[in-house]
Amino acid sequence: MAEWMENLRANPVPMLISAEDEALEYFVKRDLLCEEVPRIEYAWALLDVQKLKRNQKPNGSWSSGMNPLYKNHPIDLPETFKRFRLLVRQYGSTRYDQSTAKAAEYLFSCQSDEGDFRGFIGNQYATYYTGEVTALLTLGGYEDDTRIERAFKWLLSMRQNDGGWAIPMLTHELDRKTSYRIVTEFVEPLKTIRSRHFSHFCTDMVLRAFAVHTKYRRSPIAQRVGNMLKTRFFKSDSYSSYQDPKYWTRFEFWWPNLLTTLDSLSLLGFSPNDTDIRFGLDWFVKNQQSDGLWKVDYGDAKPHMDNKLSLNRSLWLTLNICRVFKRFYGITVAGTS
């Protein structure tokens, strides 16, 4: 058993390898077992990845088939974001894949003149989505692109006085009717009230961009924010979204949780001997199942009715948790959660 795996309760590799998922097996062998594998293009050519790319439009986007909620809204932005995220984070795709490159250009077309990615919540500033999109594009091979630099400059300009980030619209005390009108009617974006506290929910998604960028991960700001964020484990957020501490252990989709935060902190060079980091890692150790896997949701959410889909998500989640443990215990791996 590898040295980093000695920190776990059970060896997850047998379950991961026996899953009959070619892409998963590829990344387990590459990232956990350090075995020689084919070039990454092998993974991009697998059936699951090809299915993900189907029905891409000429402009690089994918349609969800839904009617737009917001006026003047880039209707294909959410679906394109979802697929691009899977291509990049799950399958390691980059700009050297034609479909991924086309999707990246569509996302860049949604970048405002100010530098943020606009359209996730109408015309309002979405600091959290801008952080995640910037992270994805950086991982996708656009780190040195001037458009990425613009996004970072915008993010740096949007910090709260305490150093973290919030969703600007939520720093205003708006009733539900007003909030809905501001978003759906394409109102000019509200400026953040900088005196309000940072949101760990929003800050997690922004810090992801800093964590995957070779220059910005070394910045004093990234280290300061990392120190702030690690003190928030299992605490309620400062704003209405994600206030329930149980969100820390719900690992589906792209929303912030214990793993996404630890993933960023591991890339920023934090030590597993840090008290807060150790607290987070210990939670994963205590909650690992006897078969070596972790559940996708430890909150009150009902289990997914599709057992096969639920198992698939659990397997990929387990791979990402193992990547973080391996990184914390001194061995660099290619993947991120």
Q: Is residue 31 part of a domain?
A: no
Q: Is residue 43 part of a domain?
A: no
Q: What is the gyration radius of the CA atoms in the chain, in angstroms?
A: 20
Distance (Å) of CA 325 to CA 180, 214, 255, 259 = 41, 20, 20, 10
Residue 337 confidence class, pLDDT cut points 50, 70, 90: very low
Q: Looking at residue 178, what is its pLDDT?
A: 94
- Six-digit token pair at 42? 């092998």
- Six-digit token pair at 102? 């086309």
Does the pLDDT of residue 31 top 80, yes or no? Answer: yes
Residue 150 confidence class, pLDDT cut points 50, 70, 90: very high
Q: Is residue 269 part of a domain?
A: yes
Count: domains in the chain: 1
The tally of CA atoms less than 13 A away on the side-chain side of residue 58 is 0
Q: Looking at residue 240, what is its pLDDT?
A: 75
Nearest to 253 by CA among 178, 316, 192: 316
Q: Looking at residue 333, what is its pLDDT?
A: 55
Please state, in angstroms and rounded to a whole number, the distance separating the CA atoms of residues 281 and 232. 14
Q: Looking at residue 70, what is its pLDDT?
A: 60
Does the pLDDT of residue 296 top 60, yes or no? Answer: yes
Q: Does residue 73 contact residue 20 with C-beta atoms inside 8 Å? A: no
Mean pLDDT of the chain, nearest integer = 93
- Six-digit token pair at 172? 């205003």
Residues 98-109, mean pLDDT to the nearest whole number: 98
Q: Looking at residue 331, what is its pLDDT?
A: 62
Residue 264 confidence class, pLDDT cut points 50, 70, 90: very high
Residues 282-301, mean pLDDT to the nearest whole number: 91
Q: Looking at residue 185, what is its pLDDT?
A: 85
Distance (Å) of CA 69 to CA 76, 185, 278 = 12, 10, 43
Does the pLDDT of residue 152 top 80, yes or no? Answer: yes
Please state, in angstroms and rounded to a whole number, the distance separating the CA atoms of residues 319 and 91. 12
Please state, in angstroms and rounded to a whole number, the distance separating the CA atoms of residues 196 and 171. 6
Residue-range definition of the domain harbouring residue 151: 52-314
Q: Is residue 90 part of a domain?
A: yes
Q: Is residue 326 part of a domain?
A: no
CB proximity list for 215: less than 8 A, separation 6 or greater:
none
Q: Is residue 241 part of a domain?
A: yes
204-243 pLDDT per residue, tens: 999 999 999 999 999 999 999 999 999 999 999 998 777 7
Nearest to 64 by CA among 49, 80, 41: 80
Q: Is residue 26 part of a domain?
A: no
CATH number at residue 90: 1.50.10
Does the pLDDT of residue 336 top 80, yes or no? Answer: no
Residue 33 confidence class, pLDDT cut points 50, 70, 90: very high
Please state, in angstroms and rounded to a whole number, the distance separating the CA atoms of residues 22 and 34. 16
Does the pLDDT of residue 44 top 70, yes or no? Answer: yes
DSSP state of 111: B
Per DSSP, the three-state class of 119 is: strand
Please state, in angstroms and rounded to a whole number, the distance separating the CA atoms of residues 286 and 278. 12
**Whole-number percent of the chain with pLDDT over 70:** 93
DSSP state of 245: G
Q: Is residue 209 part of a domain?
A: yes
Neighbouring-strand partners of residue 297: 250
CB proximity list for 90: less than 8 A, separation 6 or greater:
23, 316
Does the pLDDT of residue 193 top 70, yes or no? Answer: yes
1-23 pLDDT per residue, tens: 688 999 999 999 999 999 999 99
